[in-house]
Amino acid sequence: MPVDTDIRMIKVAIVDDKQANRISLSEKLTEHKGISVILTAKNGEDFLIKMKESKELPDVVLMDIDMPVMNGIQAVNTASGLYPSTNFLMLTVFDDEEKIFEAIKCGAIGYLLKDDTIESIVDSIRQIIEFGGSPMSPRIARKALQLLMNSRIEKVEKEKSVLSDREMDILNGLVAGMNFKAIAEKLYISPNTVRTHITNIYKKMHVQSKTQAVMIAVKNKWF
Amino acid sequence: MLHENLNIRSYLYLTLIHLSVLLLCMPAFVSAQQLSYKTYTVNEGLAQNTVWDVCVDFKGFLWIGTADGINRFDGDRMHLYASQGTGTSFMRADVLYRFHEDKRKQFWVVSNLGLGYYNRSFDSFSTVYISRQFCSFIGEDDKGRIWIADGDTKILIIDALTKKIVRSIPIQPKLSASTGSIQNSISLPGHFVTTLNDKVILVIDKKTERPDFIYSEEGNGSCIGYINDSTLTSFLKGMRYVYHLRQNRIVTERRVMKNFTHIPSFSSYQYSRGELYASSIFGLYILDKESLEVKRAIFNFSDSIASEFSYIQTLKVAPDGIFFMAYNGAGLKIYSPYSNKFKHYHTSTQRGNMVKSICRTADGKVITGLWGSGLTIYDSVGKYKFLSLGRKNEINSVFAIRNWDKQHVLFTHGNELVWFNHVSGQVLKRIKLQGKAYFPFPQFEQNAGQLLVNYDSSGYGIIAGIDFDKGMTNVVRLKAPNVRCFKWIDSQTCWIGGSNALLRYNVASKKTDTFLRDHIIKCILLSSENRLLIGTTRGLCEINREGKLLHQWTLKDGLINDLIYGILEDKNKALWMSHNKGISRLNLSNNKIQNFGVQDGLQSNEFNTGAFYKDEEGLLYFGGINGFNIVDPEHIPEDNKPIPVSINQININDLPYITDSSCNELRQLNLNYGQNTLSFNFAALEFCRPEACKYRYKLEGYDKQWIESATIHFARYANIAPGNYTFKILACNPDGYWAINPKELNIYIKAPFWQTLSFRLAILFLGLLLVILVINALVNRQKLKAKRQLAIQIELEAERLRISRDLHDNVGAHLSYLINNIDWMKEHPNTLKEYEKSEKLKLLGEAGRNALHTLRQTIWAFSQSAISVDDFADRFKQFALKMLELNESVQVDFEEQLTINNQLNPSQALNLFRIAQEAFNNSLKHSGCSRIEVLFLSTQDCLFQLRIRDNGKGFVPEQYKDSDSYGLQNMLSRAQETGAHLLIDSEIGKGTSITINITK
């Protein structure tokens, strides 16, 4: 594999309550060039504290959902408000899409299963850095469609979160079980454009209010 | 205090002028006894002042027949019964009503026009017979038949029950026509006797029923009187007729009545209580039965007073001595001994009636000292004359008078003491008292054989002995002015009543002690039992010799009034006190107090200080502002008859209750709910002293006790609850006797339908029913719940079993394969070649990932209570997409037809998912297809349908039915378990279609 010095190192943080998972994932990721694990934490609160102390901020945070003290969803909700430049990917054993969807609304931009191959994990991380988002399952797409079509978000927010026609087409394609390629072919656009659109859709789904979360963080001196 | 023997200058003050004045002021005696009557005239509601007959019926009502109709008096109001309209009625008469209450208590009325009777329950009169002539009442015979005379032509006998004429007897021969003069009838054991007019007396033998006549051309009076069962009398112009009724003839006897030649005739006779009373234009007399001479006059008039109006047309005397007198033009007068308990004497002028002092002389004269007008002297038969003492205003007042000896009285006159000979009418001597010209409170008192008097001398109260020759002796001079009364109780002690306290004066020490401060002392009495009793403005006080107050009787103890003017003790040791609200009697042995007022014959309710006297016979004299009364304590007539009460009006909700019958006859009052404010007007049937009746009433069922309403005869009850009540009234007669049997009226107020028993029972029943139903429903629900619980439990159990079997069959299989292989590799580290190892490890990783996938599906399905078809579809799409990543040559088309997003239960979803997975994998791996179509269907009729169709090579399903290849067997058994219908449609070369169907 040619060494590409231009490729900037992707800084990754891992939040998982199981030490074994943290170590094995950390080791596997470190093996790949261009990815460095700069922070591991055992739960949401530990993560927030460590983020405060950290000299550099991670680009991507791999966040477990079910954790003691503070779960991944709460951690994402708070941290996405405090660190807008950081991307949060949920990492879970079970694809409980209700929780995943909740995490997405709180600021996550995708999810991975823990048993996914390290290649697919790394691929997802890179895609996030490149396009800003990860693939979206039909279920999440359907929920996103429901949320963004029928949302009762405030007017100001609405302008930001209203779906474009193209985004709508893409979401409908995803719901219909089409992959990026098929969608791209159907819409006469490149698969990468599809990915960019999906990233935008993710961002529009970030509707959970951050204000309160940030206030709690400040109060607890996590920021 | 000073005690001095003042040298009072006394002098004889006898002049001719004085004497002449005294003699000039002695007119002839005129009658002075005043009788008290109750009078009913048009002012009291009578229809007319000409009254023909009067009667008290057995119910107690007073009936008055007037020239303008019949009145019934109920104690409160005069009801008038008069003929109205043009119909023929006996009541159209204007003369002569005669009342008769028969044996059956039916009330008959005969008028000059005919006969009628009173219908008590309807309170109206019915006509029985109309006459063209002049009807007269004859009587009621032993068979209860009513006899009347129709003019002088026939006699009619009427059956009292049927009100039919049962016999008509013609009168033969015809006599001169009747006139409308006074007539009366007497029923004797053997005869009816009726005066038809002033010349004809009709006599009917009751046995033979044959009429006979006593006829006299010159007249024999229009009124007959009863002497005994066979003797009657009549009177005309000084001639007395006596009729002896024998078996077959009538003997008439005539006597001349010398004393009564001026009387034209006696208008009415009444035989009662063994006395024969007769009335005439000149008054009312009691006749001697033998001589028929006047024994005494109840009252009589002088020629000047006698007139047509004082003419008594009918006299009735009740057994208790009450006289009912129906006058020709003066209404009805009732005389009652109970309202004349005390003899009352007064003069015809106001000046002679302000009695300030009184005494009775040895020869039976009563002399009253007057305020400003000298004396009035009443002789023993009650006639009086004035004795003006020749001065004016207060200095002509006589404030104290006392017998001096048999012929003389001593009295105060201004500031003089006067000895007066009441036999000769001459003043014997005058002594001037030093002091004011006018002192209103002198009193004479006896002490140690000497008469003493008190008066006022320039600010000092003087008590001095009176000596006819020497004038005033033994003067006690007190610093206290206004000595009002005094009493020596022994030679050393004198009790003195002042204007604001009682003083005790000790002769030896000359000291006074003060008691009863703030009491105005009016009189002091030392009783026969040596009790010291003080009459004050604050009741009667008894004190001991030390001045300690032993007892005080006031209004609270039953005295009529706290102001006591005078106290006298009668023979029975009862105290009689005069007040300014009547007279009271106190029995000291039991503290019982009885009060008397003007209704009992008192001169008025106001008496005077110092005007009280007790004579040697024990008669008590009390003077007031309208003459004086004599109390004979031994003979106080007392009415002890209970009086009935009548209910005269009933108001329902403040409107008069209208009924066919009279209110008083009602026994039961039935009212609706809402007619619950009741008021009653009632009255005692007492006609002489109605204002002195008291009442108590009670609404049984509402009032717990009797309500004492005093003289108020009205009761009102508001908002009475439905139910049964009895309204009871008791009256107390003016002498304090309460009736024992109350007047009663039952009242029933109907409950509204929602308060009736039947309605309540119905409601109770319905309520019970409802309760039972509710309990039943609850029990059923409980049962259902338990049943459901059980079902859920069973369901849960099944679910648990399914989960465990699923884990065992799927996850467990993968994991055990994984473990077995790892174990084998560990035990045989060198058996496999390097590439084989890597192949093997890849397989093992696959197995682990499969275990995790399977577990993930299990968790997906069982973590939700239900899985919607779209969720199922999305998950399947996710799975399919993942599979396609490895087979990029195959194109998959998904189609959703979800008209209704139905729900699957977890095990259904899981089984279907596994079937679909199997089918999809078969198509992908074995059919060699290029295209797979997946259809999800969820509609009204179809719970869920999943169809996976490929365009691969196809197969013959029957060939694989029994083998385990392609998991067909597995798919079928899963479908069976889920209750789904699995259709495998495949043909070689034509692709395969697998449809899973679950109906509702």
Which chain A residues contact residue B892 at CB under 8 A? Answer: 177
Of B852, B874, B884, the CB nearest to A138: B874
Whether A175 sits inside 8 A of B874 (CB atoms) is: yes
Q: What is the pLDDT of residues B263-295, one digit of tens each?
A: 767 777 887 777 888 887 777 888 887 777 777
Whether A96 sits inside 8 A of B860 (CB atoms) is: yes
pLDDT at B552: 93
Whether A95 sits inside 8 A of B881 (CB atoms) is: no
Whether B860 sits inside 8 A of A95 (CB atoms) is: yes
Question: Residue A181's closest chain B neighbor by CA?
Answer: B888
pLDDT of A1 > 70? The answer is: no
Which chain A residues contact residue B859 at CB under 8 A? Answer: 94, 96
Q: Report the mean per-residue pLDDT for chain A.
A: 81
Give the residue with greater pLDDT, B548 vs B151.
Answer: B548
pLDDT at B123: 86
Question: Residue B871's closest chain A neighbor by CA?
Answer: A139
Whether A94 sits inside 8 A of B871 (CB atoms) is: no
Average pLDDT of the segment spanning B674-680: 91
Q: Which residues between 889 and 908 in chain B have a beta carbon less than 8 angstroms from any beta carbon of chain A? A: 892, 894, 896
Percent of chain B residues topping a pLDDT of 90 = 29
Whether B881 sits inside 8 A of A179 (CB atoms) is: yes
pLDDT of B960 > 80? The answer is: no
Which chain A residues contact residue B879 at CB under 8 A? Answer: none
Whether B860 sits inside 8 A of A138 (CB atoms) is: no
Which range, B324-333, B349-358, B494-503, B725-734, has the best average confidence (pLDDT)? B725-734
Of A94, A139, A179, the CB nearest to B871: A139
- Dihedral of the alpha carbons of B896, B899, B905, B910, in degrees to the nearest 10: -10
Of B860, B863, B878, the CB nearest to A138: B878
Distance CA B118, CA B107 (A): 5
Q: Which residues between 194 and 213 in chain B have a beta carbon less than 8 angstroms from any beta carbon of chain A? A: none
Q: What is the pLDDT of residues B91-144, one digit of tens each?
A: 776 677 889 999 989 999 998 888 999 988 888 888 888 887 788 889 999 888
pLDDT band at residue B379 under the 50/70/90 scheme: confident
Q: What is the pLDDT of residues B529-544, one digit of tens each?
A: 999 999 999 999 999 9
Beta bridge partners of A128: none
- Other Cβ atoms within 10 Å of B772 Cβ, number: 10
Whether B894 sits inside 8 A of A179 (CB atoms) is: no
- Other Cβ atoms within 10 Å of A54 Cβ, number: 14
Of A95, A96, A138, the CB nearest to B877: A138
Residues shown for chain B: 1000
Among chain A, residues having any CB pair with chain B shorter than 8 Å are: 93-96, 115, 137-139, 142, 175-177, 179
Which range, A121-130, B384-393, B545-554, B756-765, has the best average confidence (pLDDT)? B545-554
pLDDT of A147 > 70? The answer is: yes
Closest CA to B625 of B580, B584, B594: B580
Q: What is the pLDDT of residues B844-903, one digit of tens each?
A: 888 888 888 888 888 888 888 888 888 888 888 888 888 888 777 888 888 888 888 888
Chains A, B: CB pairs < 8 Å = 39
**B866 and A CB contact within 8 Å:** no
What are φ and ψ of residue B247, in 5° steps? -55, -50
Give the residue with greater pLDDT, A33 vs B505.
Answer: B505
Q: What is the pLDDT of residues B213-233, one digit of tens each?
A: 887 777 777 788 888 888 888
pLDDT at B538: 92
Instruction: Choose the weakest-confidence range: B590-594, B675-679, B711-715, B906-910.
Output: B906-910
pLDDT band at residue B14 under the 50/70/90 scheme: very low
pLDDT at B8: 34
pLDDT of B145 > 80? The answer is: yes
**B877 and A CB contact within 8 Å:** yes
Of B849, B852, B894, the CB nearest to A177: B894
Token representation of residue A114: 């823990």
Kindly give the residue spans of alpha helices, DSSP state H, lying in A54-117. 72-82, 97-105
Average pLDDT of the segment spanning B635-652: 90
pLDDT of B243 > 90? The answer is: no
What are φ and ψ of residue B631, in 5° steps? -105, 120
Average pLDDT of the segment spanning B378-394: 84
pLDDT of B726 > 60? The answer is: yes
Which chain A residues contact residue B881 at CB under 8 A? Answer: 138, 177, 179
**B884 and A CB contact within 8 Å:** yes
Among B874, B913, B934, the residue to mutate for chain A (most A Cβ within 10 A): B874
Whether A177 sits inside 8 A of B871 (CB atoms) is: no
pLDDT band at residue B962 under the 50/70/90 scheme: low
pLDDT at B586: 94
Whether A176 sits inside 8 A of B870 (CB atoms) is: no
Q: What is the pLDDT of residues B789-846, one digit of tens each?
A: 888 888 778 778 877 877 877 788 788 888 888 888 887 777 777 788 888 888 888 8
Token representation of residue B725: 């009540």
Q: How many CA atoms lie within 13 A of A94 on its CB side?
A: 14
Give the residue with greater pLDDT, B182 vs B222.
Answer: B222
pLDDT of B302 > 70? The answer is: no
What are φ and ψ of residue B785, in 5° steps? -60, -45
**B870 and A CB contact within 8 Å:** yes
- CA-to-CA separations, B342 to B35, B351, B584, B599, in angstroms, rounded: 10, 22, 13, 10
Phi-psi region of B302 (alpha: psi -120 to 50; beta: other; left: phi over 0): beta
Of A94, A142, A177, the CB nearest to B881: A177
Q: Which residues between 914 and 933 in chain B have a beta carbon less than 8 angstroms from any beta carbon of chain A? A: none
Percent of chain B residues topping a pLDDT of 70 = 92
pLDDT at B20: 34
pLDDT at B32: 66
Distance CA A145, CA A153 (A): 14
- Other Cβ atoms within 10 Å of B19 Cβ, number: 13
- By the 8 A CB rule, do B147 and B138 touch? yes
Question: Residue A95's closest chain B neighbor by CA?
Answer: B856
Q: Report the mean per-residue pLDDT for chain B.
A: 84
What ipTM score was computed for the predicted complex, to two decimals? Answer: 0.80
pLDDT of B9 > 70? The answer is: no
Percent helix, percent strand, percent coil in chain B, to nearest 5: 20, 40, 40
- CA-to-CA separations, A203 to A71, A74, A102, in angstroms, rounded: 21, 17, 13
pLDDT band at residue B175 under the 50/70/90 scheme: low
Whether B875 sits inside 8 A of A139 (CB atoms) is: yes
Q: What is the DSSP letter of B556?
A: G
Q: What is the pLDDT of residues A177-202, one digit of tens each?
A: 888 888 888 888 888 888 888 888 88
**B468 and A CB contact within 8 Å:** no
Distance CA B113, CA B91 (A): 7
Sequence-separated contacts (24+) of B797-804 with Cβ below 8 Å = B799/B862, B799/B906, B799/B907, B802/B907, B802/B910, B803/B858, B803/B862
Among B877, B884, B891, B893, the residue to mutate for chain A (most A Cβ within 10 A): B877
How, if at all, do strands B375-378 and B383-387 pair? antiparallel
Min Cα distance B783 → chain A (Å) is: 37
- CA-to-CA separations, A185 to A192, A193, A201, B18, B427, in angstroms, rounded: 12, 11, 19, 164, 164
Of B852, B884, B894, the CB nearest to A115: B852
Of A96, A115, A179, the CB nearest to B849: A115
Whether B859 sits inside 8 A of A94 (CB atoms) is: yes
Whether A142 sits inside 8 A of B874 (CB atoms) is: yes
